[in-house]
Amino acid sequence: MRKTYVLDPETRELVEKKHYYQAQGAYIQGDIESIVSSIDGSVITSRSKLRSHNAKHGVVPYEEFGDAYFQRKAQERQRLLNGATPQQRRERTEALIHAFEKHR
C-alpha cells in the first residue's frame, strides 16, 4: 500500500495523510477555480485534472515543499554566487596549476 502525504499548514511539515485527517477531524475540500496552465496553455477545471496535468508534465505545486527546502536552496544559490561549489573550486585549482606550469 502506497503512503500519501499532505502538507500541514501550521507546521509546514509533510505528514501521512491518514494521521493528519484523523487529528483534524472531517475535512471537505472545495472545488478549485479554473486556471490556465503556464506549461501547455490547457484549462484546468478540477483537482483531478490538476493532478493528472502535474503528473503528465512532471511538476509539483510549491505547497508540497517545506521551509527547509527553500532554506537549503537559498544556501545552494549563495554558494554558487560566491564560487564555493566543488566544481568551481576544481576549475580554479586547474587554472592555477595550468598557470604555474605555463610559467615554469
pLDDT tens profile 1-48:
577 888 888 888 888 877 776 665 666 677 788 999 999 999 999 988
Answer whether residue 89 shows pLDDT above 70: yes
Q: For the chain, give the percent of residues with pLDDT over 70.
A: 91
Element (H, E) at 41: none
Across the chain, mean pLDDT equals 84
What pLDDT is attached to residue 55?
Answer: 92
Q: Higher-confidence residue: 67 or 93? A: 93
Q: Give the closest residue to 29 by CA, choosing from 13, 51, 14.
A: 51
pTM: 0.43
Cα separation, 69 vs 74, whole angstroms:
9
What contacts 32, CB < 8 A, 6 or more positions away? Answer: 44, 45, 46, 47, 50
